[in-house]
Structure 1
């Protein structure tokens, strides 16, 4: 039963966890917090539920009996499923965190965890993802250098070619498009896109910029996202000039 202190959110969360006790803990806590919850014990069941239930968020254990969460997330992204993903894992290394986030995840909680931390991360991810389409404010599209990004429809394109972006890549591009030709420090990008820092580690920004460039600069398109060595990144049209800006 939903806790009356937490009204129904209208959001669905899919919990993918093979440990039955953890799966029950999370589904109970999320349900009490007002979410509609579905659950799966392995990757195959998760893929089926992701297609049928269309969740707003997936809480995904990294170690599953038939696959791992990183591989599963990459497979979902390749199929055009860009549902935000919150990883759960006993791996604590920074490299594991970067691997998870660069595979298309949006956040990362290590085990053992406090259930309130998971609830806070779920709320933060859904807040970043925006309000449901029926209540989302209509904003004019962002445009620069042949790139158009429409936050109301969550669509982006370059020179008429659709860009298939994950939710985090979409927010990163929106952040850069909102401030074209301005140098953004990595810490500022981290705050604007992720809303908090990952223990001060800005390498996740580098990883996502690399992924975004690969999608933006296809088919010989000139590079738009440039590196300012030792500082951060700048979105600008290519120009013949000397200085610290590099693709």
Structure 2
């Protein structure tokens, strides 16, 4: 009985973990630039004196779905979407360099170009400061330019170029803040081939329909594991009755 209980218990515990992941993906189905989280599990045979007929479920690598999401036109000058592969480099709360696909930008009270989440956008020379009373434009290579439109528009002034990178997806890890970083902690190099689309945003790559179907499937798997544990309890009760009679 105890062997069946532990086997079913590990299966039920990991099904609950996978349900939490799918729920988080569903909650971010409309989050700009969100990358779906993927859970992977594997079965490990239980080594004992008996026959190798049992297996435990253990966590394997937890990754992310790096497929691009749909690009939607917004017409807003501070909205950019990365075309195909690539990342936008930002400064996280602890000062380290991190990467995101959320191109919804804003200008802070101090005139610093930031993401909608408050992370400072990293430029080729550090943070990009935007002077007041200017009209901003972002080129396809990430170059940020402004035009003074207080009175008569003047010449365009280049403020800097947004750092765009394209590291190998196998080296990226998602942090608790939702930003990605390289596993070894080193900053990624600029990639001149990464291009952005101005006046547009990339949506989440989560498919709500697939996620809902997955949730239903996981719920049935959990019920099956609970049924196995209930059967183990009934078997133990029957065995106890038989032993009492003998």
* Higher RCO structure, 1 or 2 (CA under 8 Å, sep 6+): 2
Task: Return the structure number with greater helix share.
Answer: 1
TM over 0.5: no
TM-score (norm 1): 0.25
TM-score (norm 2): 0.25
Task: Return the structure number with greater strand share.
Answer: 2
